[in-house]
Amino acid sequence: MNRLLPLALALLITACAAPAAPVVEAPTPAVSAPTVEAEPAVGTPEPEVPLPVTPAPITVDMNRIEGQTPTDVIGYLGTPSLVRRDDAVQVMIFETGTCVVEVIFFEPANGDHFRAHRVNTRSRTGQDVDTENCVRRQLEINQ
């Protein structure tokens, strides 16, 4: 019986052991061929990269104000913040954040069109400023 005990024990351990799990092979991932970008043909120019657009500096043309009608001046400077008319005089005020453009129109004769006679510029606090720079600021706003 002593001889059978090790054999019985071995059979018992083998019988209690879990069955071997089936071997499942993992699918191999599909390997795609590396992509190769086509090189431009010899002599073919590279595509042009657009350069940043720098706006052209604004040129002030006082001839588009002086001697012009109110309609012409509005077309150039934009909508005025104030328009005042007293008999044969009309005043238009154009305001920017830093300065004020004042255009004074006169009616040469009764029934004639008003014409810009004078252009005054000042800071918002009343000090004199450069006329061309103040008009340029107004033109920048009107773009």
Summarised one tens digit per residue, pLDDT across range 97-107 is 999 999 999 99
CATH of domain 62-142: 3.30.1450
pLDDT at 123 over 90: yes
| Tokens, residue 11 | 């059979």
pLDDT at 54 over 80: no
Beta-bridge mates of residue 101: 94, 121
Domain assignments of the chain as residue spans, ordered by start: 62-142
Q: pLDDT-based confidence at 67, cuts 50/70/90?
A: very high
CA distance 31 to 108: 89
> Which pLDDT value is given to residue 46?
73
**3-state DSSP assignment of residue 56:** coil
- As a whole number, the mean pLDDT across the chain is 81
> Which pLDDT value is given to residue 117?
96
User: What is residue 84's DSSP assignment?
Assistant: E
